[in-house]
């Protein structure tokens, strides 16, 4: 990264690093479009009222004010002020409602954009970063099969990124209905509170979570124990999931008045079982049930997902999401959705700094045309123009300096070929024809601008792993 962001939390890439980010974005877009997702872009701002409505990040909003409003900002209630979006899900919901008449439903969309979090500056937290999202939004209803298909699209996208050094990704899935039914089944009522504490399990450990459940969520020791045991339940197929859940239910939810919550839990369990069984049929090992997954954002109503990379636990979840049935509505009409979001900036940071992803060169140019003297620049420009017309990216030496200096410029940019125009080739002891030199291999040969092509290895700027 550009030697520490000059404003804390607002990272910027050096040109060679940006090549990697751009390739990652191109790759994701390719996978999303292969899967029939439609690209949209929403404005960076939303009204305060939408931003405050949903999401625990609502406290981390950047509000805008025009320079002319400075000193009078408070004249406008926050709900009516504009703020930068903190994710791409809230904007999608708003976009879908506004344009519902002109969209075909279910609406499958991809969106890769910056988002902002108005956090206090602190080490390692991004206040501006790129998210890459896919969602599908239904009109009135939304079939459950998308709850397994969308995580699988993300898995296939992340699989493509392994070429840039990303380890294998596994989606951990849970279901809010399952959790809520169970919590109510054991006699707890503060569902959001319990989820919030359970979400801390990996960070602070079981004992501490148990203490917080007792302290903050009116749980007794046995109830806390029940929640922890549920959170520790994992399963790789539906039957196993059902069996383990049944065991817990009969252990903790025996009171007669709790049975009413069983159907809620079972509904969530059925969806989760479907997800892991279908995923196993298509891509074994890609999606597992992990009942501690809680997700911070409070707009999820069913499936929730987090994604972890093998051997990169410190990164935490790199791709999260879930199903939200109530985020968007218009009158009685609801627009339920399910989607996942990759935190792209942290991922690119990992690829660059931990996985050794690197651009083959800084410049997209494949050839730099040398300039013998400034009066000959037009000839060099013409050669470059002819190469470009044939799809070969070409730069021209900035100065008609000594040849060594010109080659050094190409070398600093990683441009593999230097083209020597013929007309003054005599100065170079040349043959009177154009010559092209591969400055990586040292090979030089005569070349015709109307037919020459670079070796395929050197043709394009690529990203690969340093060894």
Long-range pairs for 202-210 at CB < 8 Å and ≥24 separation?
202/292, 206/232
Q: How far is the CB of 61 from a copy of itself (least distance, A)?
A: 5
Binding status of residue 62 toward a copy of itself by CB under 8 A:
yes
Query: In the range 300-329, which residues lie near a copy of itself by CB under 8 A?
Result: none
Strand 303-309 with 319-324, pairing: antiparallel
Asked if 296 interacts with a copy of itself (CB under 8 A), we say: no
| 287-290 and 169-175 strand pairing | parallel
Judged by CB under 8 A, the chain residues 206 through 225 that form the site for a copy of itself are none
Between CA 154 and CA 306 the distance in angstroms is 11
38 forms part of the interface with a copy of itself (CB under 8 A): yes
Helical axes 221-231 vs 191-198, angle rounded to 10°: 60
Does residue 122 belong to the site contacting a copy of itself (CB under 8 A)?
no
Q: Which residues are annotated as a binding site for L-histidine?
A: 87-89, 117, 131, 135, 295, 299-300
**114 near a copy of itself, rule: CB under 8 A:** yes
Residues 132-161 that bind a copy of itself (CB under 8 A): 143, 145, 149
Q: Looking at 164, 261, 305, 409, which residue binds a copy of itself (CB under 8 A)?
A: 409
Stretch that binds a copy of itself, among 7-15, 166-174, 193-201, 289-297 (CB under 8 A): 7-15
Helix (H) or strand (E) holding 334: strand 333-334
Tokens found for residue 87: 């994710």
**Which range binds a copy of itself by CB under 8 A, 61-69, 285-293, 308-316, 325-333?**
61-69
Please provide residue 109's backbone torsions phi and psi, each rounded to the nearest 5 degrees. Answer: -135, 145
Q: Which of 278, 290, 306, 434 binds a copy of itself (CB under 8 A)?
A: 278
Residue 171 contacts a copy of itself per CB under 8 A: no
Residue 84 · residue 49 · CB < 8 Å = no
Residue 413 interacts with a copy of itself (CB under 8 A)? yes
How far apart, in whole angstroms, are the C-alpha atoms of residue 158 and residue 342?
Answer: 9
Pick one of 87, 180, 290, 395: the residue that binds a copy of itself (CB under 8 A): 395
Q: Is 285 in the site for a copy of itself (CB under 8 A)?
A: no
Indicate whether 78 belongs to the interface with a copy of itself (CB under 8 A): yes
Alpha helices in 283-375 (DSSP H): 344-353
453 in contact with a copy of itself (CB under 8 A): no
Q: Is the dihedral of CA 200, 204, 205, 207 positive or negative?
A: negative
Q: Which sign, positive or negative, has the C-alpha torsion 312, 30, 5, 84?
A: negative
CA atoms within 13 A of residue 128's CA, in its CB half-sphere: 12
Question: Site for a copy of itself (CB under 8 A): which residue of 3, 203, 402, 466?
Answer: 3
Which region among 90-98, 211-219, 253-261, 317-325 touches a copy of itself (by CB under 8 A)? 90-98
Does position 284 interact with a copy of itself (CB under 8 A)? The reply is: no
Closest to a copy of itself by CB, 148 or 209: 148
The window from 188-196, 225-233, 288-296, 389-397 that contacts a copy of itself (CB under 8 A) reads 389-397
Polymer length in residues for the chain: 467
Closest approach of Cβ 42 to a copy of itself, in Å? 6
- Please report how close the Cβ of residue 170 comes to a copy of itself at its closest, in angstroms: 19
Q: Determine the interface stretch with a copy of itself among 77-85, 233-241, 318-326, 433-441 (rule: CB under 8 A).
A: 77-85
CB nearer to a copy of itself: give 61 or 178: 61
Number of residues that bind a copy of itself (CB under 8 A): 95
Measured in degrees and rounded to the nearest 5, phi and psi for residue 140 equal 90, -60
- Site membership for a copy of itself, residue 270 (CB under 8 A): no
Does position 66 interact with a copy of itself (CB under 8 A)? The reply is yes
Q: Which stretch binds a copy of itself (CB under 8 A): 33-41, 180-188, 202-210, 244-252?
A: 33-41
47, 56, 270, 376: residue in contact with a copy of itself (rule CB under 8 A): 47
The residues with which 321 forms a beta bridge, in sequence order, are: 305, 340
* CB proximity list for 190: less than 8 A, separation 6 or greater: 216, 217, 218
* CB 191 to a copy of itself: min, Å: 26
- Give the long-range contacts of residues 155-162, CB within 8 A, separation 24 or more: 155/283, 155/286, 155/287, 156/31, 156/35, 156/283, 157/27, 157/28, 157/31, 157/32, 157/342, 158/307, 158/318, 158/319, 158/342, 160/27, 160/28, 160/30, 160/31, 161/24, 161/27, 161/28, 161/347, 161/351
Give the separation between CA 23 and CA 16, rounded to whole angstroms: 11
H/E stretch holding 303 reads strand 303-309
Encoded tokens for 109: 């969309």
Does position 237 interact with a copy of itself (CB under 8 A)? The reply is no
- Residue 10 binding a copy of itself, by CB under 8 A: yes
Q: Which stretch binds a copy of itself (CB under 8 A): 15-23, 233-241, 295-303, 419-427?
A: 15-23
């Amino acid at each position: 990264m550009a030697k520490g962001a000059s404003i804390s939390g607002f990272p910027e890439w050096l040109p060679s690093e940006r090549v990697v980010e751009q390739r990652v974005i191109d790759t994701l877009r390719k996978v999303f479009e292969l899967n029939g997702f439609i690209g949209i872009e929403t404005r960076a701002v939303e009204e305060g009222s939408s931003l405050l409505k949903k999401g625990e990040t609502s406290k981390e909003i950047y509000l805008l004010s025009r320079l002319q409003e400075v000193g009078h900002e408070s004249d406008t209630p926050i709900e009516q002020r504009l703020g930068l979006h903190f994710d791409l899900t809230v904007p999608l919901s708003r976009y879908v409602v506004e344009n519902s008449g002109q969209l075909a439903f279910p609406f499958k969309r991809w969106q890769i954009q910056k988002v902002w979090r108005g956090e206090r500056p602190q080490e390692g937290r991004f206040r501006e970063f790129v998210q890459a999202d896919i969602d599908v939004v239904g009109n009135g209803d939304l079939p459950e099969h998308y709850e397994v298909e969308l995580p699988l699209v993300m898995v296939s996208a992340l699989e493509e990124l392994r070429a840039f050094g990303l380890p294998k990704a596994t989606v951990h899935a849970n279901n809010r209905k399952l959790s809520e039914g169970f919590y109510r089944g054991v006699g707890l009522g503060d569902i959001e509170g319990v989820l919030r504490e359970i979400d801390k399990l990996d960070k602070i450990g079981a004992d501490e979570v148990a203490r917080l459940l007792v302290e903050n969520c009116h749980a007794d020791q046995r109830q806390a124990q029940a929640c922890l045991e549920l959170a520790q339940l994992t399963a790789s197929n539906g039957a196993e999931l059902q069996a383990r859940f049944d065991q817990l239910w009969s252990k903790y939810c025996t009171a007669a008045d709790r049975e009413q919550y069983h159907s809620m839990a079972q509904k969530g369990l059925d969806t989760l079982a479907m997800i892991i069984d279908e995923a196993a049929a298509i891509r074994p090992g890609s999606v597992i049930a992990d009942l501690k997954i809680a997700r911070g954002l409070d707009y999820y109503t069913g499936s929730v997902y987090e994604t972890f990379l093998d051997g990169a636990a410190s990164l935490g979840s790199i791709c999260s999401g879930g199903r939200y049935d109530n985020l968007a509505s218009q009158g009685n009409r609801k627009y339920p959705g399910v989607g996942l979001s990759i935190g792209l900036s942290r991922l690119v940071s990992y690829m660059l700094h931990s996985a050794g992803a690197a651009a083959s060169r800084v410049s997209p140019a494949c050839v730099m045309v040398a300039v013998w003297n400034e009066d000959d620049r037009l000839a060099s420009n013409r050669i470059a123009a002819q190469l470009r017309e044939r799809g070969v990216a070409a730069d021209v030496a900035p100065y008609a300096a000594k040849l060594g200096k010109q080659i050094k410029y190409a070398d600093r940019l990683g441009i593999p070929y230097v083209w020597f125009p013929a007309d003054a080739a005599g100065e170079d002891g040349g043959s009177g024809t154009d010559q092209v030199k591969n400055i990586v291999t040292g090979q030089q040969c005569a070349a015709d601008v109307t037919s020459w092509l670079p070796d395929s290895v050197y043709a394009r700027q690529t990203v690969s792993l340093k060894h």
